[in-house]
């Protein structure tokens, strides 16, 4: 397929979809900039980046999982549990909170990897179960309420402060995406991920370590979800065991909007970021539009619009797929 060598020319429908999402993102930014006074104000841009970095991190892990042909439904529950763990460890040291939260995510990832590669249970059902387990663990640890973080250890800096004028969560997300891009596009590991998504059996026959690669992908997704949980706790000052509901769906939608096929075997890190930003931008614009007073859409419209958006994207993807088949 087109995934091993990717020249700049548009060679496939996947590239077309990826180009589409980037154009759509710029289109939305242009629309917002022309229509609303404060759309490109530093305040809006910075708070947009600060808040949506969590979702971008989860979408990155999800992209890798989906490229292998799998799915990770546990990310929302993992983030919620990790936020609680991070909050509990935050009085010790800010780094203890950070590491403990990531370790919690890593643990869920390891459990997913074990159930999927050793017990050979489909990713969908395996991560559905660990989602329940993660929520349960988070609620138990937090005693069914939100857990306040320590404000003395500097833990909240991770979520609330800026570095060189940009929010720290945005820096973290940026670093993760650069790393993800390097792995997928430049390292052999990335080619293994793509090959497994194209055909697990074939990849095994080629001598690729399928189980190890799959395990690594779920570990990465869990750890990134844990990191998102740390940012959640640091940003809002509390570990929140009931947060994260529906995050997995937002992440899947971002990956799909970014042109990655759910059947695996192809995908791009950059387009996933564009997909996550695009979905987030829709809400940002909706908020501004409400502010103008021409329309007043209640918060309930958000999920309707989000669903409609996903619908348009998957139908377009399906059309592109059939065109590729017949071409």
The answer to whether 311 contacts another protein (rule: CB under 8 A) is yes
Query: Which span (29-37, 223-231, 278-286, 296-304) binds another protein, by CB under 8 A?
Result: 296-304
Strands (DSSP E) contained in the chain are 147-148, 162-163, 166-167, 238-239
Q: In this structure, are residues 64 and 221 in contact, taking their beta carbons and an 8 Å threshold?
A: yes
- DSSP-based helix, strand, coil % in the chain, nearest 5: 75, 0, 25
The answer to whether 290 contacts another protein (rule: CB under 8 A) is no
Which conformational region is residue 261 in: left (phi greater than 0), alpha (psi within -120 to 50 degrees), or beta?
Answer: beta
**From 51, 135, 155, 247, residue interacting with another protein (rule: CB under 8 A):** 135
The answer to whether 206 contacts another protein (rule: CB under 8 A) is no
Q: Radius of gyration over alpha carbons of the chain, in Å?
A: 20
Dist CA 135 CA 81 (whole Å): 6
The answer to whether 64 contacts another protein (rule: CB under 8 A) is no
Binding-site residue total for another protein (CB under 8 A)? 54
The answer to whether 136 contacts another protein (rule: CB under 8 A) is yes
The answer to whether 238 contacts another protein (rule: CB under 8 A) is no
Please state the closest distance from residue 60 (CB atom) to another protein, in A: 19
Query: Toward another protein, which CB reaches closer, 83 or 130?
Result: 130
Query: Toward another protein, which CB reaches closer, 32 or 69?
Result: 69
Query: Toward another protein, which CB reaches closer, 236 or 301?
Result: 301
Q: In this structure, are residues 80 and 134 in contact, taking their beta carbons and an 8 Å threshold?
A: yes
Longest dimension (CA), the chain: 62
Burial environment of residue 223 by CB neighbours within 10 A (0 to 12, 13 to 18, 19 or more): buried
The answer to whether 326 contacts another protein (rule: CB under 8 A) is no
By the criterion CB under 8 A, which residues form the site for another protein? 71, 115-116, 119-126, 128-133, 135-140, 144, 200-201, 204-205, 246, 249, 252-253, 256, 262-263, 298, 300-308, 310-311, 314-315, 317-319, 321-322
């Amino acid at each position: 397929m087109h995934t091993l060598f990717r020249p700049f020319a548009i060679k496939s429908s996947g590239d077309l979809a990826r180009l589409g999402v980037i154009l759509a993102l710029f289109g939305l930014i242009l629309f917002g900039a022309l229509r609303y006074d404060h759309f490109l104000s530093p305040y809006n841009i910075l708070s947009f980046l600060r808040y949506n970095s969590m979702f971008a991190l989860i979408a990155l892990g999800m992209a890798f999982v989906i490229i292998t042909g799998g799915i990770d439904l546990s990310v929302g529950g993992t983030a919620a549990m990790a936020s609680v763990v991070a909050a509990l460890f935050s009085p010790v040291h800010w780094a203890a909170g950070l590491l403990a939260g990531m370790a919690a995510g890593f643990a869920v990832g390891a459990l997913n990897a074990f159930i999927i590669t050793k017990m050979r249970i489909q990713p969908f059902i395996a991560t559905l179960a660990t989602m329940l387990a993660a929520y349960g663990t988070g609620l138990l640890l937090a005693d069914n309420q939100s857990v306040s973080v320590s404000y003395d250890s500097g833990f909240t800096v991770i979520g609330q402060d800026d570095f060189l004028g940009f929010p720290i969560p945005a820096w973290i997300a940026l670093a993760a995406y650069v790393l993800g891009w390097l792995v997928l596009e430049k390292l052999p590991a990335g080619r293994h991920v793509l090959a497994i998504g194209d055909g697990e059996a074939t990849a095994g026959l080629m001598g690729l370590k399928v189980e190890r690669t799959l395990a690594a992908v779920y570990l990465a997704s869990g750890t990134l979800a844990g990191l998102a949980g740390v940012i959640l706790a640091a940003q809002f000052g509390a570990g929140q065991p009931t947060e994260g509901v529906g995050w997995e769906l937002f992440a899947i939608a971002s990956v799909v909007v970014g042109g990655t096929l759910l059947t695996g075997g192809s995908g791009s890190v950059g387009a996933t970021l564009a997909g996550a930003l695009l979905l987030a931008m829709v809400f940002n614009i909706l908020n501004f539009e409400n502010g103008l007073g021409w329309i007043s859409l209640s918060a309930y419209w958000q999920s309707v619009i989000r669903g409609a958006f996903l619908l348009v994207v998957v139908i377009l993807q399906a059309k592109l797929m059939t065109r590729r088949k017949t071409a």
